[in-house]
Amino acid sequence: MSADPVSADPVSAAPVIVAPVIVAARRTPIATRGRGLAGVTVDRLAAPVLRALLRDGMDAMPAAHASTPIADVVLGNCMGPGGNPARVAALLAGLGQEVPGATVDRQCGSGLAAIVDAATAIRAGDERARIAGGVESASTAPVRSIDGVPYDRAPFAPTGFPDPGMTEAAEHLAAADGISRERQDAYAMRSRRLAAAAAARGRFDAELVDLEGVALDELVGASAADERAMARFRPLFDGGTLTGGNSCRVSDGAAGVLVVPGGASIAAGVPGLALRAHAIVGCDPALPGVGAAPAILEALARAGRGIADVTAFEIVEAFAAQTIAVLERIGIADDDERVCGDGGALAIGHPWGASGAVAVVRLFSRLVRSGAPTGTIGVAAASVGGGMGVAAVFEVVR
């Protein structure tokens, strides 16, 4: 395995800091809200993933695992019951009462932000392994209210700022960018066909953790991949272009990774994804769907890389229109084979707080499990409600 020191000063003999490395990545199957995983709470969704990551880590790095216990569990979550689901899931998973937990809410970027937070703690000098990721049970999310009046979501922005819901914002973005329904449908069908082909080849098998009798992603291979079925979806807004076919399904699921110090993975000879750079940015809250674009460009600049250097992109596909708008802004065609090469959230589903972590799990499978060589670059990114974007640049190390 090779390693790229992040910083070294030979004059002052400052310590060399080695990038944190993801050495294991797992997720649950993803199911549409109210269906296959409808009765599974966030802690019960996340716990099997945590246990699987712990087993994978022990198998890959037995000596390192014995001497470096899990320092923390950091999970993204948007609409759960509160009470720090990461800590509850860690206890349920049997990690031990001494392992703490922290829950991150950066909306649809929560799972990726949690992974960045865990890696940053290691980079800062706490050289203990961490489990990070995200979880969402839209099916069991509590009803929230103010003075007894229920509401669907908390504000993404204060009074005086635009505060559209993500679906409304995606419709506005499609109109502003002139993205036709036909183009959106074509992108959504591409995602579904890629996912169906990937599932048939067993591309998801190694990353999946069976849960409550559900072993496969619920939507993969659904009839919406058929062009005639896609055309039958009605617009979500009068005169609009967004439909149920070119928008994601709100879903339940969990995903996570095991992050270790780069030195430990090098010593063990374990391949993984080294976090080279990340960016979290703000953008116009009226058009939050484009947030991933400036985040990707900034993260790549911090890593000293460009779009052409990237072998695999995993961008959370909340809506076809939103994903196309992001791709246009970073100079990538709709059908670029590097983007969500096994399908994305349009095909698999979008468990809000978990989706950013699902993107990293998918990168791990596409690059590390597939045998991509050392130095291969991957990017995970998500646009976030309220006008934000989060992105991370990873490099294969072996």
Q: Looking at the annotation, which residues are catalytic? A: 108, 350
Mapping DSSP onto H, E and C, the string for the chain reads CCCCEEEEECCCCEEEEECCEEEEEEECCCEECCCCCCCCCHHHHHHHHHHHHHHHHHHHCHHHHHHCCCCEEEEECCCCCCCCHHHHHHHHCCCCCCCCEEEECCHHHHHHHHHHHHHHHHHCCCCCCEEEEEEEEHHHCCCEEECCEEECCCCCCCCCCCCCCHHHHHHHHHHHHCCCHHHHHHHHHHHHHHHHHHHHCCCCHHHECCECCECCCCCCCCHHHCHHHHHHCCECCCCCCCECCCECCEEEEEEEEEEECHHHHHHHCCCEEEEEEEEEEECCCCCHHHCHHHHHHHHHHHHCCCHHHEEEEEECCCEHHHHHHHHHHHCCCCCCCCECCCCCHHHHCECHHHHHHHHHHHHHHHHHHCCCCCCCEEEEEEEECCCEEEEEEEEEEC
* Rounded CA separation 106/104 (Å): 6
Residue 144 amino acid letter: R
Phi and psi, residue 155, nearest 5°? -60, 140
* Rounded CA separation 33/31 (Å): 6
Six-digit token string for 349: 């589903």
Residue in this structure with the two tokens 């709470």, named with its chain if needed: 41
